[in-house]
Amino acid sequence: MQDETIQNGLNRNSDFAARKTPKSPGIKIMPPTVFYCCLLLGIGLEWLLPTSFSMTAAWRLGLGVALGGAGFTFMMYGHERFKRLGTNVRTNLPAKRLVRGGAYRYSRNPMYVGGSALYLGLALCANSLWMAASWLPLGGFLALYVVPKEETYMLARFGEAYAAYCDAVRRWL
């Protein structure tokens, strides 16, 4: 049986949440920086050791454009919701409010989900397995470092309102 204090990946009894609310999630390296570093790693590996997907160019480009376009749209839908409501997008600044609605009805992290789809769409369009594989460190950074720190901060900052939101909306999709 699952511990009732941990639901949807959120530890409601976190020592961090019990302490004084910090000013921000405290994430020093911005996710877009890691996005671009991983993308450059994939491009560099592709240049050194060329790879390719085993599908026709039409399918690969069609899928890449569709995935990348949908990802970009979802990412910007989430970003614009933050901007419209006047809260900070940067992970080293305080959250001014709990953002719900818009893309946040479907995912607690639409900017990360959308950015990941964009990244993989670019890899398909570039016909690069290395670019696709270089998403893995980015995915790990988001899933194991950024999102847990953000969610712990949000729980400390917004309490039960955030916990209820986590119960209602999935972390990813």
Is the residue at 64 inside a domain? Answer: yes
Give residue 141's domain range. Answer: 56-173
Is the residue at 120 inside a domain? Answer: yes
Is the residue at 41 inside a domain? Answer: no
| Total domains, the chain | 1
Is the residue at 83 inside a domain? Answer: yes
Q: Where are the alpha helices (DSSP H) in 23-159?
A: 31-48, 57-85, 110-125, 129-133, 135-141, 147-158
Is the residue at 12 inside a domain? Answer: no
Is the residue at 5 inside a domain? Answer: no
> Residue 149 is encoded by which pair of tokens?
């720190």
Is the residue at 75 inside a domain? Answer: yes
Is the residue at 40 inside a domain? Answer: no
Predicted TM-score (pTM) of the model is 0.87
Per-residue pLDDT 10s for the chain (173 aa) are 333 344 455 655 555 445 577 899 999 999 999 999 999 999 999 999 999 999 999 999 999 999 999 999 999 999 999 999 999 999 999 999 999 999 999 999 999 999 999 999 999 999 999 999 999 999 999 999 999 999 999 999 999 999 999 999 999 99
Q: Give the integer Cα–Cα distance in Å for 97 and 104.
A: 13
